[in-house]
Amino acid sequence: MRLADWCRERYAGLDPEWRRKAVGLSLAVGIEALLVLLLLSLGIVNREPVPMSDSLVTVTMSENPAEEDEPSEARSYPAEDSPASQAPQPPQEEEPVQQPTDARQTPVPALIAVSPDSMRSLDISRAQPSRPIVGAQPYGPVDTARPGDSQRIAGSGPNGEPLYAARWYREPTDQELQGYLSTASGPGYALINCQTAPQYRVENCVLVSEGPQGSNMGRAVLAAAWQFKVRPPQIGGRPQVGEWVRIRITYDVRPAVPPYSR
């Protein structure tokens, strides 16, 4: 009682601010004490001893489910064979099995008599090999991407430059040539030499020949040459921009289709 009275007197003599602090401190200490008690109570576990015993469990697996249902007492084991029963038995002779004979017999192929002269004439080793058939070689710009140096052809540029067969990068379309070739009288052709320029263009084109003469094919092709896309010649695997190439343009006149009439 004296301790409680002393605590009340001390509490009454404290400043009001210290009283609030004392209340908060006591509450914090009480909460922490409760948490400690809860943690300690969680670690208490009643463990009951479990008796341990050594036992052996045998499991028998059987492929036939019907055999598992039969009691073990019902199983009988064969007795050991007596010496008399173990005596070797004489081998029994097996009767040969007769194969069924086919009533239809295979016909014997007929033999054709051949004379020695005929045999020599039929000997294919003496036949002469036939000559290979060589197709017509195309003439004009070769649109191929085969590696290697470009093919040099006869002729030269305006100042004696080497001349190569042209290879199209993109062939001109009918729409691109129609406006220029409409001024020429076809059918005909024009052969021109051009100097390759960057971006697969050609420039400085000159007329070599045209046919028929006076058909204005050369003038029309020279006017349309600014649209041509030609690969520069390759020498040593590298494109040579600025070399001269030969281009042939053929103009075929197609007859107009008459309008449909009943």
Give Dmax over CA atoms of the chain in angstroms: 154
Task: Judge whether 169 and 231 are in contact, CB under 8 Å.
Answer: yes
CATH of 152-251, one of 3.30.2420, 2.60.40, 2.40.50, 3.30.950: 3.30.2420
The backbone torsions φ and ψ at residue 230, rounded to the nearest 5 degrees and listed phi first, read: -125, 140
Q: What pLDDT is recorded for position 193? A: 95
Q: What pLDDT is recorded for position 207? A: 94
Is-above-0.85 flag for pTM? no
Q: Which pLDDT tens digits describe the chain residue by residue (262 residues)?
A: 576 677 677 767 777 777 777 778 888 888 989 998 888 888 665 566 655 554 444 444 544 545 545 544 545 454 455 444 455 566 666 666 666 555 566 666 555 666 677 666 656 566 555 554 333 333 445 445 455 788 889 888 888 999 999 999 999 998 988 889 888 887 899 999 999 999 999 999 999 999 888 889 999 999 999 999 999 999 888 999 999 999 999 988 654 444 443 3
Task: Judge whether 227 and 220 are in contact, CB under 8 Å.
Answer: no
Closest C-alpha among 180, 179, 185, 173 to residue 220: 180
Q: What pLDDT is recorded for position 101? A: 59
Tokens found for residue 229: 């896309």
CB-based contacts of 156-165 (< 8 A; 24+ apart in sequence): 156/244, 157/193, 157/195, 157/244, 158/193, 158/204, 158/206, 161/243, 161/244, 162/243, 162/244, 163/193, 163/244, 163/245, 163/246, 164/233, 164/243, 164/244, 164/245, 164/246, 165/141, 165/245, 165/246
Q: What pLDDT is recorded for position 9? A: 74
Bridge partners of 230, per DSSP, are 168
Give the DSSP H or E segment for 105: none
Task: Judge whether 189 and 246 are in contact, CB under 8 Å.
Answer: no
Task: Judge whether 235 and 191 are in contact, CB under 8 Å.
Answer: no
Q: What pLDDT is recorded for position 252? A: 81
